[in-house]
Structure 1
Amino acid sequence: MIMITKDMYVADIIMMDRGVVPVFMEHGLHCIGCAISSAETVEMACMVHGIDCDTLLADLNQYFGATETEGQKA
């Protein structure tokens, strides 16, 4: 199972599955494609944008858990 942590880079998470972009956007991270995302960790992005890191991480991990479960059903 993929486990997203606050130390992971935003761009790396998106490269794992581009379908995760709406999760970031729902939390107010709209500059997903900007150059900073490749050098910004989840924690850094949350601090800059005033987002609750624990809530975002929970939603990201829920997304990846759900996609992994769906992939096993296929």
Structure 2
Amino acid sequence: MMTSVTKDTLIGEVLQADQTTAPFFFEMGMHCLGCPASAGESLEEACMVHGVPVQELIDKLNAHMSR
């Protein structure tokens, strides 16, 4: 079980740990979660591509996953 995510956590790891996190990725414009390349992308890399502050996504994911 994943305890928390960091900027280096892979998207695939987040989704594998908790599939209910998918809407957070959709919210930032990342609609390609089924793509094999996205699974191997870090949160930092995805945020850079989509113009989203990585810390904002990390905070949302960690708050959601700690419930």
Q: In which range does the TM-score fall when normalised by the shorter chain?
A: 0.7 to 0.9
Structure 1 position 25, deviation (Å): 1.0
Q: How many residue pairs end up in the alignment?
A: 66
After superposing on structure 2, the runs of 4+ consecutive aligned residues of structure 1 that deviate more than 3 Å are none
> Which structure: larger Rg?
1
- Identify the residue that residue 54 of structure 1 maps to in structure 2: 55
Structure 1 position 26, deviation (Å): 1.3
Q: Provide, for residues 16-71 of structure 1, a one-character-per-residue CA deviation record: whole Å limited to 9, x for no partner.
A: 011110111112221111111222100000111111111111100011012xxxxx
* TM-score after normalising by structure 2: 0.88
Higher share of residues assigned helix = 1
* TM-score after normalising by structure 1: 0.81
Separation (CA, whole Å) in 1 of partners of 2:31 and 2:41: 14
- Identify the residue that residue 20 of structure 1 maps to in structure 2: 21
Consecutive unaligned residues of structure 2, counting only runs of 5 or more, are: none
SS in structure 2 at match of 1:25: helix
Q: CA RMSD in A?
A: 1.3
- Superposed, which structure 2 residues align to 1:35-54 within 5 Å? 35-54=36-55
Consecutive unaligned residues of structure 1, counting only runs of 5 or more, are: 67-74
